[in-house]
Amino acid sequence: MDSTLIQQEVIDELAKLAGVYEEVASVTKEAMEGDLDFHEALKKRCVYLKGLSSSIFTELYPKLKLNVGVENLLKGLKEKSTKTAVFSGGFTDILEMFQKQYGIDEIRANVLEVQDGQLSGNVIGDIVDKNKKFEYLKMIRDLEGISHSQVVAVGDGANDALMLNEAGIGIGFHAKEGLKRLIANWVDFAPLDVLLFLFS
């Protein structure tokens, strides 16, 4: 989702609103390059969000910008009756709004705990990391009864590598260097809807 379907990293945008952007962005960069354990990085960043109103997601969502070609890609996939799923190391609150707007079939993301209408700074339930993305891809593939070769996966960070390598076609989109070292295919300059040719 973050930096793949949308241009921003949601946690960084939340941090801007909380006035702790520099602190959070430096941890995000380390995590995306694979230099910091994802669980540790997520928990470390979420602590900075403690005290934000839970309505912050509704305020932030309209400000998020899609990457070029995303709307076209999702529309084209729907026209071809292709199932879509988004697994995100971001947050369910944002992803649920995106799912509703664009008709995504399956979503998985992290859940931020809310207490008395405010973010507690804690993540509850399973953390969506590289292993969970890998598991979710296999689970949905098996539930849909489709073969390995019928799965196309796209991601941008090192925590997407297992998922991309499990797909029939895995593609890094504007991939971080940490991901490029782990995969065979990436797209650096084309819009995301260039991927529609894979479904023709």
Residue 87: the pLDDT is 98
The helix/strand/coil state of 199 is helix
The helix/strand/coil state of 122 is strand
Q: Is the pLDDT of residue 34 over 80?
A: no
Q: What is the pLDDT of residues 50-68, one digit of tens each?
A: 999 999 999 999 999 999 9
User: Tokens 């947050």 — which residue?
Assistant: 91
Pairing of strands 106-115, 85-91: parallel
The domain ranges of the chain are 10-199
> What pLDDT band is residue 100 in, cutting at 50, 70 and 90?
very high
DSSP E strands, 116-193? 118-124, 152-155, 169-173, 186-187
Closest listed residue to residue 82, CA positions, set 3, 146, 170? 146
DSSP for residue 67: P
Mean pLDDT computed over 82-94: 97
Q: Is the pLDDT of residue 33 over 80?
A: no
Q: Is the pLDDT of residue 32 over 80?
A: no
Mean pLDDT computed over 140-169: 96
Calculate the alpha carbon distances from 51 to 48, 58, 104, 122, 157 in Å: 9, 16, 30, 11, 28
The rounded mean pLDDT for the chain is 94
CA 104 to chain centre: 13
Given CATH 3.40.50.10360, say whether it is the number of domain 10-199. no
> What pLDDT band is residue 29 in, cutting at 50, 70 and 90?
confident
Q: Is the pLDDT of residue 158 over 90?
A: no
Q: Is the pLDDT of residue 28 over 80?
A: no
The helix/strand/coil state of 23 is helix
Residue 31: the pLDDT is 72
What single letter denotes the amino acid at residue 96? E
Residue 133: the pLDDT is 98
Q: Is the pLDDT of residue 13 over 90?
A: yes
Calculate the alpha carbon distances from 172 to 94, 98, 159, 176, 188 in Å: 22, 21, 11, 8, 8
